[in-house]
Amino acid sequence: MSRTVGLRIHVTGVVQGVGFRPFVFGLAERHALRGWVRNTSSGVDIEVEGRPESVRAFAEQLRTEAPPLARIHDLEVASRPPDGYTGFSIVPSAPVPGAYQPVSPDVATCDACLAEVRDPSDRRHAYPFTNCTNCGPRFTIITDIPYDRPNTTMAGFPLCADCAREYADPRDRRFHAQPVACPVCGPTVWLEAGGAPDAPPTGPDAIAETRRRIAAGGVVAIKGLGGFHLACDATNPAAVAELRRRKLREGKPLAVMVASLEDARRHARVDEAEAALLASAAAPIVLLRRRRVSRIVVAVAPDTGEIGLMLPYTPLHHLLFAPGEHRPEALVMTSGNLSEEPIATSNEEALRRLDRLADAFLLHDRPIRSRCDDSVARVVGGETMFLRRSRGFAPYPVRLDRSLPPLLAAGAELKNVFALTRERDVFLSHHIGDMENLETLQAYEDGVAHLARLFRIDIEAVAHDLHPDYMATRYALERAAAAGLPAVAVQHHHAHVAACMADNGLDPEARVIGLALDGTGYGDDGAIWGGEVLLAGYRSYRRLRHLAYVPLPGGDRAVREPWRVALAWLAAADIPWTPDLPPVAAATREELRVVRRMVELGLNAPSTSSAGRLFDAVASLAGIRQTVDYEAQAAIALEARVDPDEAAAYELGLGPSTIDPVPAVRAVVTDVREGLPVGRIAARFHRGLAAVLAAACVDARAETGIGTVALAGGVWQNLVLLDGVRDRLVRAGFRVLVHRQVPPNDGSLALGQAVVAAAVLRARS
């Protein structure tokens, strides 16, 4: 008889709610091992015994053959004497007080579930809430850990006998799938339309009626995974225009859902990496180059040649696109909110807040615990670049090489995402949005409380932006004051650069040259920064250079009215405001008089080094846009116009402490007056800015000996600038860091705040 050996294995990471125990069960059976597996609050425990080579193979394959959604952080393996187990079993969960583990993000419908939904003989045929251990809702329905059905919003749906059998069978795909449901025992959909006297249509009838209404040009609010969408026919210009009018959203791009990868390819050019991202379990909105032949109306995304597409990620979405009458070709699926408000999540809230926006409501009775907007990403050089990291990714943590104390990092004012830390994990929240109203603040406070509870985080300190008036800053400071916690103020662009360092796994002592380019951030001199060359470590930074200051006439108004910044740059360049120049022509005589006073006297005109505003100014001077509907719209339009064949570049001055755009502004004006095509002006500006930024890095390296550059801040969403700067830096021998796991914009600010605050607190103690 051969020798028997035993192992005890503890696995941490995303290993619950992803089919890990059935996988362990199957693997143990395959190797004829005895023992058990169980969930704990901190991961999964396993004991196995059997022949030495089988036990070894088992331990190896735990890692190499883990289910697709599992993410193993650590696998601790220890030998133990055999216990004489007779079989292999899955034993009840063992809670460990205070322990925590990551929560899985929501996962798009898997192929096996989709096949059932499409199979007329299956008991889940056409059932919109079909899911299994490989797919379905997770973060959005979890109310607490451990991840068991009573701790989800499925608690109110007792399993029918058939579902209970699947749930209890370790050989079934639905073994311990917490959201498991079927038409007998699970949630239902129904359609509510204002004033309709009859009983609302439910199930397949509700979906059919939704399709009919959309085909007829209507707008339907559809309850999804993390909130409501407003849906309309993306090929119907009148429907799109009406949706924009109701939503008060004039120019901002609207996301579009299409049935399949094949369909996506008919509307946009999709390369292999983009296809993989579209069809991934996270199913984000992917920005793609629109095809001319696409029937999706251009007004969906008017400023660029791009379009944001996503694929169906719930069975309900798949049913909206199923073959048959009124099958849509493409659906606008924009977040169900009025501009600036958070996305609606409950039926009552949607019926109240979306009343004027939607003609009908496709509702269901599975509650949404956490609102979660769609994520937005693009592929750059084969790598994913996030623009918004939310559904499908949140609340998965960014994992560091070191432990942090438990912190709340409050995040920014716009595109807010906050962070909570525990040990090596930085839990970045879902997208909270622009902190400009009470609803968003409430969503923020609820989010902080919920994540702190899920991950058992007892906050010991807070990190916040330097800006005293940010809602998130005030929340953090009030919280710190009430609980007597230390608060660490972190300069906005230092946070950006530190976030990029942490995103790339730089060690605690690392230092980099940071090119922090974005729209707005409070500087330590009270000015509005945004075009910064920093020498930065986690703990501190020194400002090496910045874009020369210019007054921002009217403050925030200048963000909406780029002509104001253009006038300020003309004044800085001593160029008279003559009406042949587009920003001058765009203003009334009274406006010109007021802005003149602001610029000359510095009244209501804070100094700014913002790169985003410089792009706005050039877009205005070139005649592209004088006013915008959302921040950076003019800059985005400028980038979209760049003529790739242009070889010339504008010069920007490189002073001892500044980068001076004045020579470039003068050159733009000359070219505008000579009637040079806008595409060439746009290209010359991008090329000139890239060259001067690279030159500033070469200088900084000469001074400091540091050869790593971190590109951080929202302006790096500009791919022409990104490519231009990266190419120049790589050729000059630099190591260039860009964001990978989180966006370059303010959606990653909290990560930077957290790592900076941890370094500051460590130095203090």
DSSP 424-453: EEEEEPPP-B---SHHHHHHHHHHHHHHHH
The DSSP code for 107 is B
Residue 465 site contact among Fe ion, Zn ion, none (CB < 5 to 8 Å, cut-off depends on kind): none
Instruction: Kindly indicate which of the ranges 4-12, 91-99, 129-137, 518-526 contains the residues binding Fe ion, using the contact rule CB under 5 A.
Output: 518-526
Q: Token digits for 183?
A: 């038409």
Q: Which of 646, 612, 622, 599 is nearest to 715 (CA)?
A: 612
Residue 135 site contact among Zn ion, Fe ion, none (CB < 5 to 8 Å, cut-off depends on kind): Zn ion
* Cβ distance to Zn ion smaller for residue 124 or 464: 124
* Cβ distance to Fe ion smaller for residue 373 or 518: 518
The DSSP code for 747 is G
Measured from the CB of residue 184, what is the shortest distance to Zn ion in angstroms? Answer: 5
Measured from the CB of residue 534, what is the shortest distance to Zn ion in angstroms? Answer: 46
Measured from the CB of residue 72, what is the shortest distance to Fe ion in angstroms? Answer: 34
Instruction: Kindly indicate which of the ranges 106-114, 337-345, 543-551, 673-681 contains the residues binding Zn ion, using the contact rule CB under 5 A.
Output: 106-114
Instruction: Check residue 69 for interaction with Zn ion (CB under 5 A).
Output: no
Instruction: Check residue 113 for interaction with Zn ion (CB under 5 A).
Output: yes
Measured from the CB of residue 131, what is the shortest distance to Zn ion in angstroms? Answer: 5
The site map against Fe ion for 468-507 (x = CB under 5 A) is: ----------------------------------------
Instruction: Check residue 518 for interaction with Fe ion (CB under 5 A).
Output: yes
* Cβ distance to Zn ion smaller for residue 12 or 178: 178
Measured from the CB of residue 393, what is the shortest distance to Zn ion in angstroms? Answer: 19
Minimal CB distance residue for Fe ion: 518
Say how far apart CA 482 and CA 408 lie, in whole Å.
Answer: 14
Instruction: Check residue 532 for interaction with Fe ion (CB under 5 A).
Output: no
CA angle 268–279–304, rounded 5-degree value: 30
Among 27, 62, 110, 368, binds Zn ion (CB under 5 A): 110
Residues 576 to 605 in contact with Fe ion, rule: CB under 5 A: none
* Cβ distance to Zn ion smaller for residue 172 or 651: 172
Measured from the CB of residue 318, what is the shortest distance to Zn ion in angstroms? Answer: 12
Residue 434 site contact among Zn ion, Fe ion, none (CB < 5 to 8 Å, cut-off depends on kind): none
Say how far apart CA 609 and CA 631 lie, in whole Å.
Answer: 16
Q: Which of 30, 42, 33 is nearest to 89 (CA)?
A: 33
Say how far apart CA 342 and CA 345 lie, in whole Å.
Answer: 9
Instruction: Check residue 616 for interaction with Fe ion (CB under 5 A).
Output: no
The answer to whether the CB of 519 falls within 8 A of the CB of 559 is yes
Amino acid at 188: T
State the number of binding residues for Zn ion (CB under 5 A). Answer: 10
The site map against Zn ion for 116-145 (x = CB under 5 A) is: ----------------x-xx----------
The site map against Zn ion for 159-188 (x = CB under 5 A) is: -x--x------------------x-xx---
Instruction: Check residue 746 for interaction with Fe ion (CB under 5 A).
Output: yes
Residue 746 site contact among Fe ion, Zn ion, none (CB < 5 to 8 Å, cut-off depends on kind): Fe ion
* Cβ distance to Fe ion smaller for residue 639 or 746: 746
Name the 3-class secondary structure at 220. strand
Residue that the structure tokens 């525990």 belong to: 422
Label residue 762 exposed, middle or buried (CB < 10 Å: 0-12, 13-18, 19+).
middle
Q: Which of 359, 487, 427, 411 is nearest to 749 (CA)?
A: 411
Measured from the CB of residue 411, what is the shortest distance to Fe ion in angstroms? Answer: 10
Measured from the CB of residue 661, what is the shortest distance to Fe ion in angstroms? Answer: 19
Measured from the CB of residue 149, what is the shortest distance to Zn ion in angstroms? Answer: 12
Instruction: Give the CA distances from residue 254 to residues 331, 332, 374, 378, in Å, rounded to whole numbers and listed in that order.
Output: 10, 7, 12, 15
Instruction: Check residue 573 for interaction with Zn ion (CB under 5 A).
Output: no
* Cβ distance to Fe ion smaller for residue 447 or 744: 744
Q: Cβ contacts of residue 372 below 8 Å, gap of 6+?
A: 106, 139, 140, 225, 226, 227, 390, 391, 394, 430, 431
Name the 3-class secondary structure at 628. coil
Say how far apart CA 686 and CA 652 lie, in whole Å.
Answer: 11
Label residue 42 exposed, middle or buried (CB < 10 Å: 0-12, 13-18, 19+).
buried
Q: Token digits for 576?
A: 């008279």
Binding residues vs Zn ion (CB under 5 A)? 110, 113, 132, 134-135, 160, 163, 182, 184-185
Binding residues vs Fe ion (CB under 5 A)? 518, 746
